[in-house]
């Protein structure tokens, strides 16, 4: 199911439709989301970019939400939903095998500070004791 959304520009007392255009490069969108995940309507702390999995895949953006759940952000322009779902399922199975220490190492490499500190700074609360259902 596709979703069409019209974007409008205020021009004096009138509204003017902003024309549609294709995104020329996935990495531009990745840059925007990495800088400010709120453009997705989500409050996320981005903890990794182009994260390489054990099977050689590359996760566009890896994030954590305020509940401590790991979020995979895979941005696509030209792939079918089936391709995308299969890819994200592979990534999710890899993430399921990571320890909290592994996640902290990914976050520290990207953020240049440990996950506990970055989480507290971003969300204003302590990192949950259980991250992504780990014990």
Tens of pLDDT, residues 31-72: 999 999 999 999 999 999 999 998 889 999 999 999 999 999
Query: Whole-prediction pTM value?
Result: 0.78
> How many domains are contained in the chain?
1
Write 72-79 long-range contacts (CB < 8 A, 24+). 73/33, 73/37, 73/40, 73/44, 75/26, 75/29, 75/30, 75/33, 76/26, 77/22, 77/23, 77/26
Q: Is residue 51 part of a domain?
A: yes
* pLDDT confidence bin for 18, thresholds 50/70/90: confident
Q: Is residue 92 part of a domain?
A: yes
| Domain carrying residue 39 | 24-123
Q: Is residue 72 part of a domain?
A: yes
| pLDDT for the residue 82 | 78
Q: Is residue 54 part of a domain?
A: yes
pLDDT score of 23 more than 70 = no
Q: Is residue 4 part of a domain?
A: no
The three-state secondary structure class of 34 is helix
Q: Is residue 49 part of a domain?
A: yes
Q: Is residue 46 part of a domain?
A: yes
* pLDDT confidence bin for 127, thresholds 50/70/90: very high
Q: Is residue 6 part of a domain?
A: no
């Amino acid at each position: 199911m596709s979703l069409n959304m019209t974007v409008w520009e205020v021009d004096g007392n009138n509204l003017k439709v902003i024309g549609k255009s294709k995104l020329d490069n996935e990495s531009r969108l990745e840059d925007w989301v990495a800088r400010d995940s709120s453009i997705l309507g989500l409050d996320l702390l981005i903890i990794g970019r182009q994260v390489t999995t054990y099977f050689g895949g590359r996760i566009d953006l890896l994030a954590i939400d305020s509940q401590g759940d790991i979020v995979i952000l895979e941005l696509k322009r030209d792939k079918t939903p089936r391709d995308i779902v299969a890819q994200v399922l592979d990534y999710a199975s890899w993430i399921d095998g990571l320890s909290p220490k592994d996640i902290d190492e990914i976050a520290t490499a990207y953020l240049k500070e440990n996950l506990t500190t970055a989480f507290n700074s971003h969300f204003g609360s302590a990192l949950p004791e259980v991250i992504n259902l780990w014990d």
